[in-house]
Amino acid sequence: MAISHDDFHSRTGSQVMTKSVLVTGSSRGIGKAIALRLAKEGYQVVLHCRNNQEAAEQTLAEIRTTGGDGRILRFDISDRSQSAQVLQQDIEANEAYYGVICNAGLARDAAFPALTEADWDDVIHTNLDGFYNVLHPIVMPMVRRRSPGRIITLSSVSGLMGNRGQVNYSAAKAGIIGASKALAVELAKRKITVNCVAPGLIETEMVEQVQLDEALKMIPLRRMGKAEEVAGLVSYLCSDDAAYITRQVISINGGML
């Protein structure tokens, strides 16, 4: 899809400013694909990782080879004070973001009786508390930009239909849907849209343990999705063309649901 110049640049007086978008968890997987796609379209991408600084640096190097630019933030989204500190510093040193893609997440699968306290806590603290920890320090600076903005969260087919072995993950991903819809209502008058993308089975490290033969039977398109396909959807939701889409959950799952 062609993106117009005005689509990714905002004007302040005579100054033309590049729109910046934070993509959490962009060291690898879906987040990396989103970062590369948005950079290609001219956004200033703020990359993020927790442990994998080297992989994030590689993503940034790829962005630079195609003429784009960005920077890397490193923090644990389950750590509230660390998240707030790093994000506030970045916004003060640079600018409030046009967009935020809340992509970082993890799964710790086990049948419910075998699900440990740590499995439950890690998944809820990262995926669901991460929503608050990342967005709370960012939202008011976004509002003060007095310009349209975009928030896109990553849920999952598991949050929509519930998945065996993922009671913790389904709970967190369903929670993200409710939180995103409520935030969409609060921010609508500020022209900041909030939407949730719900992927099915996407080819990344996260699904390396999945029994593929069994899983493919549940997917009418009979294949896993590609991170780049999710990135295409996120890119559309970031664009001006998507200005009238908010409070939605958009599935990308090969027809699973």
Decide the pairing of beta strands 15-18 and 9-12.
Answer: antiparallel
> Would you list the DSSP string of the chain?
----HHHHEEEETTEEEE-EEEETT-SSHHHHHHHHHHHHTTPEEEEEESS-HHHHHHHHHHHHHTT--EEEEE--TT-HHHHHHHHHHHHHHS---SEEEE---------GGG--HHHHHHHIIIIIHHHHHHHHHHHHHHHHTTS-EEEEEE--HHHHH--TT-HHHHHHHHHHHHHHHHHHHHHGGGTEEEEEEEE-SBSSGGGTTS-HHHHHHT-TT-S-B-HHHHHHHHHHHHSGGGTT--S-EEEESTT--
Please, are residues 39 and 63 in contact by the beta-carbon 8 Å criterion? yes
Binding mask 114-153 for ligand NDP (x = CB under 6 A): ------------x---------------------------
Closer residue to ligand NDP, CB minimum distance, 21 or 201: 201
Q: Name which of 25 and 70 has its Cβ closer to ligand NDP.
A: 25
Q: How buried is 68 (Cβ within 10 angstroms: 0-12 exposed, 13-18 middle, 19+ buried)?
A: buried
Q: What tokens appear for 185 in the block?
A: 């209502």
- Out of 22, 23, 30, 238, the residue judged to bind ligand NDP by CB under 6 A: 30
Contact call for residues 3 and 78 (beta carbons, < 8 A): no
Q: Indicate whether 37 belongs to the interface with ligand NDP (CB under 6 A).
A: no
Q: How far is the CB of 128 from ligand NDP (least distance, A)?
A: 11
Figure out which of the listed residues 22, 49, 128, 231 binds ligand NDP, where binding follows CB under 6 A. Answer: 49
| Cβ-based nearer residue to ligand NDP, 161 or 243 | 161
- Rounded least distance, CB 4 to ligand NDP, Å: 29
Least distance in angstroms from the C-beta of 117 to ligand NDP = 17
Among 78, 166, 180, 251, binds ligand NDP (CB under 6 A): 78
Is 43 noted as a catalytic residue in this protein?
no
Q: How far is the CB of 257 from ligand NDP (least distance, A)?
A: 12
With binding defined as CB under 6 A, does residue 55 bind ligand NDP?
yes
Contacts to ligand NDP from residues 191-250, by CB under 6 A = 199, 201-202, 204-207
Least CB distance to ligand NDP at residue 27 (A): 4
The answer to whether 106 contacts ligand NDP (rule: CB under 6 A) is yes
Q: Quick one: which of 76, 121, 228, 229 contacts ligand NDP (CB under 6 A)?
A: 76
135 or 202, CB closer to ligand NDP?
202
Binding residues for ligand NDP, rule: CB under 6 A, are 25, 27-31, 49-52, 55, 76-78, 103-106, 126, 154, 156, 199, 201-202, 204-207
What residues are labeled active site?
A: 169
